[in-house]
Structures are given as C-alpha cells and as structure tokens.
A and B are shown apart, each in its own frame.
Chain A
Amino acid sequence: MPKPRFKLVMKVQYFSLVFPSLLLFTVGLILPMILGVYYSLTSWDGYTKDFPFIGLGNFAKMLADPHTLDAWWFTIRFAFWNTLIQNLLALFFAVILDTGVKAKTFYRTVLFLPCLIAPIVAGFIWQHMYFDVLPGFNALLGTKVNFGLFGKSSTVLLGLLIVNNWQFVGYWMLIYLAALQSIPRELYESAFVDGASFRIQFLKITIPMLAPAFTICIVGITVGSLRVYDLLVSATTGGPGRASTSIIYHIYNTALNARQYGYGSALSISLIIVLLVIAVVQLGVLRRREVQL
C-alpha cells in the first residue's frame, strides 16, 4: 500500500509531464475550435471589433449555398476515387515488391520519391507536364491527344487524381509492404503444403493479415483527400470556374478573401464534424472487420 505522500508526489510528477502537452493542445487546438464555434454564430467579417450574433444563420445559409454544395461534391468525389485507386495501386505495388522481383530497392525508391515533394510543387510540376511536356508526344507520334486535363471542368478531377496518386502511392505502398513483410512465412508454407494456390493464399492469408494496414491506409487517404488544398492552389487555383474547389479552398476563399469570417467558421465546423464522423465510422467498421478476419 503506497503512502499518501508518495501518491501525491506521483500525481505531481504525472501532471508536470502531461502539462506541457496539455497546454499546447489546449492553446493550439481546443481554444481555436471553441472560438471557431463562437465565430460561426456571428456575421463577423474578420476586420471589425463587432461580432454580430446571428444564431444558426450561417449553418442555414450553408445548406442553401450552391457553391458550398459544389465544393463538398468535388471533395467527396476526389476523396472517394483517391481512396479507391490509391489503396489498390499501393497494394498492387507492395505485393509485386514483396515477391522476388529484381532491383526492389530501386523501384521502391522511385515510387516513394514523389511523396517527398511538397504538394504545391507537385501541382506546378504537373501543370507543366500537362501543358508543355506531354503535348510534345503529340508532335512526336502525330497524335492529337488533349493533355490539358487541368483546363477543362470535365477533366480536371481526373488530372488531379493522377497527380495525387503519382505523389502518394509510394507512401501507402510502404505501409502495405511493411505489413506484408510481417506476415509469418510459415502460414504460406503450410498453405502451400495443403495445396493452396497463389490466389487462395492471397485471399485467405494475405488480405486478412493486412486488415490493420487497410484500416490505416483507408482512413489516412480518406481524411487526407478530404483536406486537399495545397495541390489545388498551384495546379488549378480551384478552377476552371469552381470545378476543382475543395471544401477547404472554399473555406479559405470565403473567410479570408470574401471577408465572411463567420460563415467561413461555420463551414470549418461542418468540415470537422464530417471528418470526425467519417473517421469514426471507418475506424468502427474496419476494426470490426479486423476482428472478424
């Protein structure tokens, strides 16, 4: 039975260790969030000392604002396709590199390199790729392929998906690769002895054992895609028109450029709620699936 004085000392120690992080977390995250909730109930323009209270007016406006709905629609499509394509490609490359393929390190490096570039730079690079570099192939091959994917509302999403997948497939591939390499080889050997084909081994051993990696990658890619902003700044500036304006880009434009800080705060609150709901649902479903598998 520890003495009361010892317990007190331990409590002080714990508190002194936790306090710096708690302070940073409170000042950096909790307070701004509380302020954000307060601003979202006002029509503050970001300049004045007055914060006119308008209740839930901003939230009602949000539901009727076609630009907000368009921004959400773009963001959801971007996140959906990114999550699907990036997971499939990352898993595909991880499985290939987990076999006895030659020059593994080289391929791994090549696939991983783009994720070291800042998304804003990737946007510039691909703007020039689509406009200057790739059309050069038309001249060489005598074809008339329109590579200007960023220049049309109908193709801008495709153009951005190519860039985002080019950039981040290597990163998620490493997570899958690490998970693949942690699967005990004995499982495959036993299955092989029992006559299981490669397909059966993949479906019955690899996929179930990768379940934790699926959770990490699916949640990570979804949340990252829902927050897309910097790539758009350099690649498309949200255009043509508003065809590639994500919800974060829309929040920035509304709150800061259009001087509707209150409305922008309401949009931010809605984004936080959506991100939380999606993450919780995904985590819940995937964790349950992990147990089942």
Chain B
Amino acid sequence: MKRFRFMVLGLGIALALTAFSAGGQTIRILDGQSTTDAGIEKIIDAALAAKYPNIKLDWEIVTWGTDLNAKVQQYIQSGLPDIIVGKGQDLATYSSRKILAPITGKPYLKNVLADAVKSATFNGTTYGVEFNALYQGVYYNRKIFKDNNLSIPKTQAELQALIRKLNSVGITPFATHFLDLWSIGNITMQFAINDIFSKNPGWANEFRAGKINYATSPEARVIYNYNKLLYDNTWKDETFSLEQTKADARLVQGKAAMKVSGSWSIQNFLDVDPDFDFGVFPFPNQAGNAKLIFEPNITFMKSATTKYSDAVDKVFDVITSDKDAAQKIYDLTKTAPLIKGVTPSYKNPSQKDIDAYAAKGQLVDANTGNLQLVWGGFQDENAKDIAAWLQGSETLDQALKAADSRRAVSKP
C-alpha cells in the first residue's frame, strides 16, 4: 500500500512537470546590470506572470561594466541567451556583429518614446527597446549653493570662480571616487560630449582615420585637464580609495558641493537623506554652451539566434505596456522613463533643472559620444592612463599618446 502511494505521488509530480514543460516556455535572459538596476527582475517576473503565465524568465545577472561583454563572448560559442539586457551603447556593438534580431515595426515599439526608438535604430533597422534614461552632469548640493550665495556656472571662468569661493570657505568643491575607474571614464566622456563631439560629430572617425590625434588635439588635452581640475579640488588622498556610495554620501552630508555624476547617484542621495535637496547642471565647456547629457540606459535586445522569437516579443510587450510595472522600475532605479504615459512618483529635486534644460533644447544624447568610441578597450583604458597621470606615474603626453595607440580598437 505504501509503495502504491509513492508511485501515485511520483506519477503526479511527473505529470505536473510534463504539463508545464508542454505548455510553458523558459526564456533565458542575460542582464548586464548597474548597481541601481538590482531588483528590476522581480518586477518584470511579476508583470509577465500576470499577462503570460506560461512564459518564465531564467535570469542571469552580471555586472554591466566588467562582465557583460565577457558573458556575451562566452555565449556566442555555446549559445546566446534569448534576451540580452545592456545599455543603449551596446546596440551598436552587438548589432554590428550580427548577434541581435531586428525588431523594426513591432507593435510594442509604439509604447516607446519616438526618440528612444530612433536611438535604437541603425541604418533603418531597430535592434532594441530602450527603457529608461539617465541624466549626466554636475549634481550639486542646493543648500551649500544657497548658503554661500553661489550661482550656476555656465563658463569655465565662472566655474573657476566658484571653485575658488568654495575653497575659501573650506568646502571641498568636488566629490569624487576615482577608485571606480568607470567614474573617470564616464566623466571624461561627459567632458568630451560637450567639448568635442558637439562641435565635431565626426571627430572619432577622423581620429580613426589618423587625421586627429589625442596627443596633438587641443580639445583632447582640455578634457584630460578637466580631470586634473577635479582631482586638484577633491579629497586627493582618498579619492583612489573611495567608492561611489561614500562619495555620494559626502555630497549629501555637505562635505563637498558638487559631483560630476549621473542619475545613478540619486538612489544613494535619497537613501542617505530622503529630503536631500539637489540640482544638476552641465559641466561648463570652453564655448560656454554645454548641454545636460541624457543617456538611454536599460536596453532590451533580442538574440538573433533565439528559438522563441514570439515569446521574446511577448516579454517586450509586457515590459513596454505594463505601466504599473514600468513605474515601479523607474521608482526603484530613480531614472527617467522612455515608455510613453508613465510618470515616476519618486522625489527628484533635480527634475526641475532637467525640465528647464529640456525646455531650452539644452539636452544632448550620450550616444553622440558612446557610439563613436567604445567603452571596453578604449574609454576604460584611457581612464587608466588618466588615473596613472593624476598619480604621477605617467605624463599627460604619455596618457594622450596611449589613447592614440588604441586607435584601431576604438570603434564600437
């Protein structure tokens, strides 16, 4: 009798498993996350279960900056996952290597802001769903600015005056965390977007063609020197040991007045003090016409080799049409929406600044730079040379020449 019960139980389990495997589909998803993105997978799983209970997502979460490329390369040999989640700039790298499936004209793209669809389209073919955006510039402590009667600098001269004033009252002008090399790479690209690419959108192609060199370009020298400006006006002894969360906390605590950063810091700001009052402005360029930078961030891409194309489309449909889920993700990541009709409810004191720059047409897409010079192997390696220069291990000329030596691998 006991044996019979076990047999019935076993048969029941086997039947249940068979029923699920027959009706359900498991989609592999490789998610290259930034620290702010942690948790979005649960929201997406819940939204998907509500609309398409037969589709399950098998998540593999890795760090975007260091591990996504490595994983993609590994899976090119052993079989790509059905969905890859990266950043807007990955679209150029992956689509040019033909590992993404086109999604041009799919109905769910109507839920995405037109500019975001355009940004994910190359030579008339759309390769991804750009889901949210980050704003990059100089985040500043409004209270410090107000208490010291400081105004937003628009030119380099005004910025220099502001730095002098802050130093004179004993406030560290910039919060930095150069322990994170990506931070050096990111701020250098911010400088380059406003000082180089906005002036000459074809700069990188001319660089690759050998017509321009970092070593002889006055603009390149200027953007490298901005790093020195920050380094000379931050906690020099600590910045190469300091991680992002601590630098963000110090800005909130009033130990520094400004931080060249992006929306990824907002989560930390509000974690330290939910009432922290902060704003954002573009890092002033030489011409005095710098724009606030926006960057398409979380981007969903369909693998060119997926066997579950329809199911992947259903996942993309949920991601773009479930407005509650989208809002939850925006609130969690403290980022700006690229899905139509979704307004985040989190408190963002810098939003009024962003709106003001947007109204004046003073926004620029980070991809104007990121799609010209690849991150892995070029931007990140340049950041290492900048760090070595700041530490005195290299000269500025050596750091600039090192960028020239990587010309051949600079294309995304």
Residues of A near any B CB (own CB < 8 A): 46-48, 67, 127, 130-131, 146, 148, 150-153, 237-243, 252-254, 256-261
Instruction: Knowing A241-B393, A257-B376, A258-B381, say if A153 contacts B239 (CB, 8 Å).
Output: no
The answer to whether A240 touches B70, judged by C-beta atoms less than 8 angstroms apart, is: no
Instruction: Knowing A151-B179, A153-B388, A239-B384, say if A256 contacts B240 (CB, 8 Å).
Output: no
The listed residue (B73, B378, B390) touching A46 by CB distance below 8 A is B73
The answer to whether B377 touches A260, judged by C-beta atoms less than 8 angstroms apart, is: yes
Instruction: Knowing A257-B380, A259-B376, A259-B377, say if A148 contacts B73 (CB, 8 Å).
Output: no
The answer to whether A258 touches B179, judged by C-beta atoms less than 8 angstroms apart, is: no
Minimum CB–CB distance from A133 to chain B (whole Å) comes to 12
- Which residues of chain A are within 8 angstroms of B72 by Cβ–Cβ distance? 47
The answer to whether A260 touches B409, judged by C-beta atoms less than 8 angstroms apart, is: yes
Bound complex: CA A150 to CA B394 (Å): 18
Bound complex: CA A147 to CA B239 (Å): 13
Bound complex: CA A46 to CA B390 (Å): 33
The answer to whether B241 touches A127, judged by C-beta atoms less than 8 angstroms apart, is: yes
- Which residues of chain B are within 8 angstroms of A257 by Cβ–Cβ distance? 66, 69-70, 376-377, 380
The answer to whether A46 touches B76, judged by C-beta atoms less than 8 angstroms apart, is: yes
The listed residue (A46, A48, A151, A254) touching B240 by CB distance below 8 A is A151
B53-79 at interface with A (beta carbon < 8 Å): 66, 69-70, 72-73, 76
Confirm or deny: B295 has a beta carbon within 8 angstroms of a beta carbon on chain A: no
- Which residues of chain B are within 8 angstroms of A48 by Cβ–Cβ distance? 97
- Which residues of chain B are within 8 angstroms of A146 by Cβ–Cβ distance? 237
The answer to whether B241 touches A47, judged by C-beta atoms less than 8 angstroms apart, is: no
CB-defined interface of B288-322 with A at 8 Å, one 1/0 digit per residue?
A: 00000000000000000000000000000000000
User: 4 additional contacts, CB 8 Å, given A252-B70, A259-B69?
Assistant: A148-B241, A238-B384, A239-B240, A243-B391
The answer to whether B376 touches A241, judged by C-beta atoms less than 8 angstroms apart, is: no
Bound complex: CA A86 to CA B180 (Å): 30
The answer to whether A241 touches B394, judged by C-beta atoms less than 8 angstroms apart, is: yes
Minimum CB–CB distance from A155 to chain B (whole Å) comes to 10
Instruction: Knowing A47-B97, A150-B241, A257-B70, say if A237 contacts B388 (CB, 8 Å).
Output: no
- Which residues of chain A are within 8 angstroms of B392 by Cβ–Cβ distance? 153
CB-defined interface of B383-412 with A at 8 Å, one 1/0 digit per residue?
A: 011111111111000000000000001000
Minimum CB–CB distance from A115 to chain B (whole Å) comes to 25
Bound complex: CA A257 to CA B73 (Å): 10
Bound complex: CA A130 to CA B240 (Å): 12
The listed residue (B70, B178, B242, B388) touching A242 by CB distance below 8 A is B388
Select from chain A the residue with minimum beta-carbon distance to B236: A151
- Which residues of chain B are within 8 angstroms of A252 by Cβ–Cβ distance? 70
Select from chain B the residue with minimum beta-carbon distance to A127: B241
Bound complex: CA A67 to CA B389 (Å): 14
Bound complex: CA A242 to CA B83 (Å): 34
Confirm or deny: B238 has a beta carbon within 8 angstroms of a beta carbon on chain A: yes
- Which residues of chain B are within 8 angstroms of A238 by Cβ–Cβ distance? 181, 384
12 A-B pairs with CB atoms under 8 Å apart are A46-B73, A46-B76, A48-B97, A131-B241, A151-B179, A151-B239, A239-B181, A241-B384, A241-B394, A242-B388, A253-B377, A259-B374
The answer to whether B240 touches A150, judged by C-beta atoms less than 8 angstroms apart, is: yes
Sorted from nearest, which 4 A-B pairs have the closest CB atoms? Answer: A258-B377, A241-B388, A151-B241, A256-B70
Confirm or deny: B99 has a beta carbon within 8 angstroms of a beta carbon on chain A: yes
Select from chain B the residue with minimum beta-carbon distance to A64: B405
The answer to whether B76 touches A47, judged by C-beta atoms less than 8 angstroms apart, is: yes
> What is the interface of chain A mostly: helix, strand, loop, or mixed?
loop
- Which residues of chain B are within 8 angstroms of A152 by Cβ–Cβ distance? 240, 391
The listed residue (A127, A130, A237) touching B181 by CB distance below 8 A is A237
Bound complex: CA A253 to CA B387 (Å): 17
- Which residues of chain A are within 8 angstroms of B69 by Cβ–Cβ distance? 256-257, 259
- Which residues of chain B are within 8 angstroms of A260 by Cβ–Cβ distance? 377, 409
Bound complex: CA A135 to CA B380 (Å): 30
Bound complex: CA A151 to CA B384 (Å): 14
The listed residue (B237, B378, B389, B409) touching A148 by CB distance below 8 A is B237
Bound complex: CA A148 to CA B177 (Å): 13
- Which residues of chain B are within 8 angstroms of A67 by Cβ–Cβ distance? 381
The listed residue (B73, B240, B376, B381) touching A240 by CB distance below 8 A is B240
Interface centre among A67, A127, A259 (most CB of B within 10 A): A259
- Which residues of chain A are within 8 angstroms of B391 by Cβ–Cβ distance? 152-153, 240-241, 243
The answer to whether B242 touches A131, judged by C-beta atoms less than 8 angstroms apart, is: yes
The answer to whether A153 touches B73, judged by C-beta atoms less than 8 angstroms apart, is: no
- Which residues of chain A are within 8 angstroms of B377 by Cβ–Cβ distance? 253-254, 257-260
Interface centre among A67, A241, A258 (most CB of B within 10 A): A241
Select from chain B the residue with minimum beta-carbon distance to A252: B70
- Which residues of chain B are within 8 angstroms of A256 by Cβ–Cβ distance? 69-70, 73, 376
Minimum CB–CB distance from A49 to chain B (whole Å) comes to 9
The answer to whether B381 touches A241, judged by C-beta atoms less than 8 angstroms apart, is: no
The answer to whether A151 touches B393, judged by C-beta atoms less than 8 angstroms apart, is: no
Bound complex: CA A256 to CA B392 (Å): 28
Minimum CB–CB distance from A282 to chain B (whole Å) comes to 31
Minimum CB–CB distance from B383 to chain A (whole Å) comes to 9
B203-244 at interface with A (beta carbon < 8 Å): 237-242
- Which residues of chain A are within 8 angstroms of B70 by Cβ–Cβ distance? 252, 256-257
Bound complex: CA A178 to CA B378 (Å): 50
Bound complex: CA A79 to CA B69 (Å): 30
Bound complex: CA A243 to CA B394 (Å): 11
CB-defined interface of B303-343 with A at 8 Å, one 1/0 digit per residue?
A: 00000000000000000000000000000000000000000
The answer to whether A47 touches B384, judged by C-beta atoms less than 8 angstroms apart, is: no
- Which residues of chain B are within 8 angstroms of A237 by Cβ–Cβ distance? 179-181
Select from chain A the residue with minimum beta-carbon distance to B380: A257
Instruction: Knowing A151-B240, A258-B376, A258-B381, say if A239 contacts B387 (CB, 8 Å).
Output: yes
Bound complex: CA A260 to CA B406 (Å): 12
Minimum CB–CB distance from A70 to chain B (whole Å) comes to 9
The listed residue (B73, B76, B237, B394) touching A151 by CB distance below 8 A is B237
Bound complex: CA A146 to CA B242 (Å): 14
Interface centre among A127, A243, A261 (most CB of B within 10 A): A243
Bound complex: CA A238 to CA B240 (Å): 12
Minimum CB–CB distance from B72 to chain A (whole Å) comes to 8
